[in-house]
Structure 1
């Protein structure tokens, strides 16, 4: 049996009279992307700092990379890499010099450090800019260099704390591809993000942190099914077919002007099959079928009661014709 990459039980942290983490349990399987969501001040960064040994928890059992964080913190540090909200890149030196500095910190030999730096600069498409001061890099280039520096020590677990904040959409999508490639190489990624579409797009599992506790955890689809409001919409061009369908699906809401029916549904395959079977039994065929499920915006609002929701671009609804 393989051990989880990260396992935390009963994680507590307070600052003065403010409880930031109140009995948080987290389990992250190896080779997956785990995303921690929550409103500002929910404790996401505090959790990352504790799990990456930057600060200590007040209570809780924590194992990272198979090592007990309380007794083998140095072994944990050797197994992880951390990219924080703010870039660790030194703008006064070149990209290559930043990489070689990290190689020195990891006690690599001169030849090994140059080889690793060159390989990572090429992997992150930074070879042409390697000799230029990092201060001249775009935001996306600095983020790529930041992650390349994190990988110098070949970590098997990487903490990415809001890695795409402030990036333009193209740079953000490029960063997503980098994250996917890391995981395909067997790396485990612990991701915090303010972009809901980022978690939806990348994460194998998502936990929503609110008030110092985990409000819910699951895959994106599991979380969406927890929230009411999903439905199947059927549209017809033949008024007779529309009336027949309304009779067969008596629980549906009617839109006589659009010749459309709306049936409550959790969006699952089983629920969709039930609707289609009832139409088939009645000898009716819809001209358009659209499945509407709550998105992570709805999940975030419902679980956190946040006045504002993290940024997200609109996503198209799934349509089956």
Structure 2
């Protein structure tokens, strides 16, 4: 009896005559399977500890910044508006991958719906571009404050800040929008197993049994365009590049490794991809918040006030 090859088609198997006919219709798989970190499955519980710690720090740090800026009217200025945008973006980015990752590590819940997979992919890519744009906006704010301080308040008014924020969000939305649409239209007939902890763009489209050059080249071009332009504009304004290096270099490294790093161990690639999305949300509140005197002052005031009042009866 002739064996039927494995092929995804909404939960059933396509017949072996598939290769003999060019008219066969392919349908997207209903679910994908996320493996986690291939080769390190036995260490998933241990690996979850630092990832969970980074996520906790990111949540505490970014929510603290949002709380302090909202409560203190003196911080309602462009610099802190942009800082709040960065905090929200970091929260979305880290939350896009951590809950599902931990469910894989702790509960072996590896299935993810096809539409949910594309949604996760879109959120990760779009908010990465949005974060890069926010860093450019923050650099522009500092440039105006240093080079033209007398006109800073008239140049960066609240409506201008809102328009900049809207432009940054729209850029992220529109630039990444082709990714899920292209991924949805490819025929998938190889396997539904993704060797990753989340739905990485190339990790998904490489499962398609079609020429994915359009997805691959567009993804690389978008990554290079965003990184090159944004780093250029930021370096024009900043002299201290710690945040830029933390965010952009791992992002560009991950994009290049996906396409050219065939000799890089798969578990190393997966670990770096996760670090790329978790380290900036953890460090940004420290770099931008703790090192900002007004934030430190308000935070100390909050903490000292709580200690003076003590617990409620």
Q: TM-score range by the shorter chain?
A: under 0.3
Task: Report 1 or 2 for greater relative contact order, CA contacts < 8 Å, sequence distance ≥ 6.
Answer: 2
Q: What TM-score, normalized by structure 1, do the two folds share?
A: 0.19
Which structure is higher in strand share?
1
